[in-house]
Amino acid sequence: MKIKKMVLNNKLIIFTVFAYLAVLIYNDKIFIKGIINTGIYLKEMLEIMPAIFIIAALINTWVPSEIIMENFGEKSGLKGKLFSLFIGSISAGPIYAAFPIAQSLLFKGASISNVIIIISAWAVVKIPMLLVEIKFLGVSFAAARYLFTIPSILLIGIIAEKFISKEEILLKADMNNEKEDIIKRLEKSLPGFNCGSCGYISCNSYAKAIVNEKENINKCVPGGEEVKKKLNLILIIMVNYLQ
């Protein structure tokens, strides 16, 4: 089980290693070129990512959730989407640098749509690169691209939010295989009334019973069907992760 879990947790690395080995067998010159290019990309990441991780940590530590929710949350409306577009557009660095910051914003209360808008704008609407684009491709090309790209980014963010579960993203990003973490997730999804209607003295006891004794997830009377769905989602994700 541990070996299977280790393989699943590192499947991308394992696949990459086998891909490199296959290329080495096929053509050693391509393999050497690939190693050189990989080194260049790794060097770039080592130069950029420490600063990005610091920014993400500062967002988590210093920026109150209320501010993130007000400006990027689900109730921020058009203001939040325009603000997200602006933040993504003025950002510098490669697109992979956007993901740690996007995760920090999600943890702090940003909506799925606004995070998608930030990442998309970061990738294709860079104001610092606008002059370079105009120099090589002309004003009309740059203007047309921005005219069609910006509304598309906003639309993609709005549509994608309808199909993506924020709870599922946060759960996958923050989980590990310890039972205590699963219990905490389950307890957090319960109403917290500690009313005893489930047959246990507290929500924590009920969460422990679900994990340790395979207790039924439909015993929370105050939470009803909504809580049952949340508990079921957590268990499905955790089971798939631990297999």
Name, of 7-21, 145-159, 176-190, the range with top average pLDDT: 145-159
Q: Work out the average pLDDT over 208-212.
A: 86
* Cβ-contact 197, 221 below 8 angstroms: yes
Gyration radius of the chain over CA positions: 23
Contact present, 88 and 121 (Cβ < 8 Å): yes
Q: For the chain, what percent of residues have pLDDT higher than 90? A: 28
pLDDT at 177: 47
Question: Is 80 exceeded by the pLDDT of residue 4?
Answer: no
pLDDT in tens, 114-144: 999 999 999 998 887 888 899 899 999 999 9
Q: Provide the pLDDT confidence category of residue 13 given band limits of 50, 70 and 90.
A: confident
Name the pLDDT band for 81 (thresholds 50, 70, 90). very high
Region 73-83 average pLDDT: 91
Q: Which residues are CB-neighbours of 168 under 8 A, at least 6 positions away? A: 233, 237
pLDDT, position 114: 95
In this predicted structure, what is the pLDDT of residue 80?
Answer: 93
Asked if the model's pLDDT at residue 5 lies above 70, the reply is no
Quick count: other Cβ atoms within 10 Å of Cβ 57?
12
Nearest one of 36, 108, 99, 97 to 72, comparing CA atoms: 108
Can you tell me the distance from the alpha carbon of 19 to that of 119, in angstroms, rounded to the nearest whole number?
29
The one-character DSSP state at 27 is: -
Amino acid making up residue 41: Y
What would the two tokens of residue 137 be? 């491709």
Closest alpha carbon to 151 in 115, 112, 121, 128: 121
Q: Check residue 117 and give its pLDDT.
A: 95
CA distance linking residue 155 with residue 18, whole number of Å: 39
CATH C-level class of 177-242: mainly alpha
Q: Which residue has the higher pLDDT, 116 or 173?
A: 116
Q: Which residues contact 172 (CB under 8 A, 6 or more apart)?
A: 237, 241
Q: List the chain domain ranges.
A: 2-61, 63-164, 177-242
Number of Cβ within 10 Å of residue 5's Cβ equals 13
Number of other residues whose CB lies within 10 A of the CB of residue 230: 19
Res. 233: pLDDT tops 80: yes
E strand residue ranges, 120-178: none
Per-residue pLDDT, 243: 47
| pLDDT tier, 9 (very low <50, low <70, confident <90, very high otherwise) | low
Could you report the per-residue pLDDT of 175-190, keeping only the tens digit for each?
544 567 778 888 888 9
CB within 8 Å of 112: residues ≥ 6 apart = 106, 157, 160, 161, 164, 166, 169
Tokens representing 157? Answer: 């963010």
Give CA–CA dist 235/112, Å, rounded.
22
Asked whether the predicted pLDDT for residue 3 surpasses 70, the reply is no
- Buried (b) or exposed (e) across 198-218, using 16+ Cβ within 10 A? bebebbbbbbbbbbeeebebe
- Mean pLDDT for the stretch of residues 199-205: 90
Task: Give me the mean pLDDT over the 5-20 stretch.
Answer: 77
